[in-house]
Amino acid sequence: MKLNFITKNLLVISVAAVLFASCRNQAADQKKADYVAGLIDAIYVQQRTSETDAQCALAKKEWDKLTSAQKELVEGENADPDYFGRYTGEAMNDDPLNQDDIGENEILVVSFGTSFNDSRAKDIGGIERALAAAYPSWSVRRAFTAQIIINHVQSRDGEFIDNMDQALERAVRNGVKNLLVQPTHLMRGAEYDELCEALDSYKDKFETVAVAEPLLYSADDKEYVANAVVKEAVKVSGYNSAKDAADRGTAFVFLGHGTSHRAKVTYSQMAEMFRNLGYANMFMGTVEGEPEETAVEEVIEAVKGAGFKNVILRPLMVVAGDHANNDMAGDDDDSWKSLFKASGAFLNVECQIEGLGGIPAVESLYVEHTARALESLKKN
């Protein structure tokens, strides 16, 4: 009886010791994960400083030290396990276009940017390659306006992409005389304004400077892109035409980013353009829900009210990056795919994760915009 009592007490003590050790290990794991989360949050910023390169290197170094279980615990203001852990393709397939030996003539292609490697190489790279092929006597270089994305790619993949200031300093350092800036932005929105502001302080360092128009500048541009994206979406979906899709109860919803900038009217104009071109089964939405009629609830009601039972979601964005993969096609309850399904109004909801930059017709329009800007340079 006494032995049983001792044995039971030893067992209790052993269990308590195991639980204590387990709690201590969990606390240690969380502490390490929180440390890395803090390092990620420190580089999830729009301002580049003299410490940025070292911070990016340290964040990745400490992430690599974590166990698989510890990586799953990483959670911060912006940090999560996907920051370093999500696979988005091989960075080696992308060319950051940050080489020197630029020559006297440079086309600087300025994009917001994306951390999705495959999309960056296909969509942004597609535009850059089209411009390089069209203007072989000009050096094509890249700049991103989102330092947050630059830091993400640099820390995770070791790929160094210039921000606007770095790219302009590179041009000055290399003796560029004629600079043409081609934005890949959709419209003259906040990003375009910031680009022009950044360029203002460098204009006197070049003999000639020109800024080409963004993608959806004129009414002709909007009509051209509307036709191009509808043609591509219909082809990928396997229908013979937009009318064929409509007759079979299928609607397409094109998802833009959205903005509070006055340029948000561009999205309303694209929606009107689809209607004017006779595309009754084409709808316009935005992630940010600005303008208001492009919010997900409004679009669901519009598609439902039009009687369509099948929906295909596709980004109206240059790159099929985070917004396309998560906000549009993600599995979370608040993604567009999930919300369309949860409405119960549709038999089938599918997604096409394809950016505008990968459509040859769209690449050609950027080439045309660059041509117009080059003409203005010649006149100066």
Give the model's pLDDT for residue 263: 87
The strand pairing partners of 181, in sequence order, are: 108, 211
**Can you tell me the mean pLDDT for 88-111?**
96
List, for residues 314-365, the tens digit of each pLDDT value: 999 999 999 999 999 999 999 999 999 999 999 999 999 999 999 999 999 9
List, for residues 42-55, the tens digit of each pLDDT value: 999 999 999 999 99
Residue 231 has pLDDT above 80, yes or no: yes
Give the model's pLDDT for residue 226: 98
CA nearest to 306, candidates 250, 347, 350: 250
Give the model's pLDDT for residue 164: 95
Residue 257 annotated as catalytic: yes
Q: What are phi and psi of 316, to 5 degrees?
A: -105, 65
Give the model's pLDDT for residue 364: 98
Give the model's pLDDT for residue 377: 74
Are the C-beta atoms of 18 and 6 separated by less than 8 Å?
no
Mean pLDDT of the chain: 93
List, for residues 27-74, the tens digit of each pLDDT value: 999 999 999 999 999 999 999 999 999 999 999 999 999 999 999 999
Give the model's pLDDT for residue 191: 87
Give the model's pLDDT for residue 116: 96
Give the model's pLDDT for residue 148: 97
More confident residue, 25 or 256: 256
Give the model's pLDDT for residue 11: 58
Q: Which of 257, 261, 323, 369 is catalytic?
A: 257
Give the model's pLDDT for residue 215: 96
CA nearest to 218, candidates 368, 380, 113: 368
List, for residues 106-146, the tens digit of each pLDDT value: 999 999 999 999 999 999 999 999 999 999 999 999 999 99
Give the model's pLDDT for residue 247: 97
Per-residue HEC secondary structure of the chain comes to CHHHHHHHHHHHHHHHHHHHHHHHHHHHHHHHHHHHHHHHHHHCCCCCCCCHHHHHHHHHHHHHHCCHHHHCCCCCCCCCCHHHHCCCCCHHHCCCCCCCCCCCEEEEEEECCCCCHHHHHHHHHHHHHHHHHHCCCCEEEEEECCHHHHHHHHHHHCCCCCEHHHHHHHHHHCCCCEEEEEECCCCCCHHHHHHHHHHHCCHHHCCEEEECCCCCCCHHHHHHHHHHHHHHHHHHHCCCCHHHHHHCCEEEEEEECCCCCHHHHHHHHHHHHHHHCCCCCEEEEECCCCCHHHCHHHHHHHHHHCCCCEEEEEECCCCCCHHHHHHHCCCCCCCHHHHHHHCCCCCEEEECCCCHHHCHHHHHHHHHHHHHHHHHHHHC
Question: What band does 12 get if pLDDT is binned at 50, 70 and 90?
Answer: low
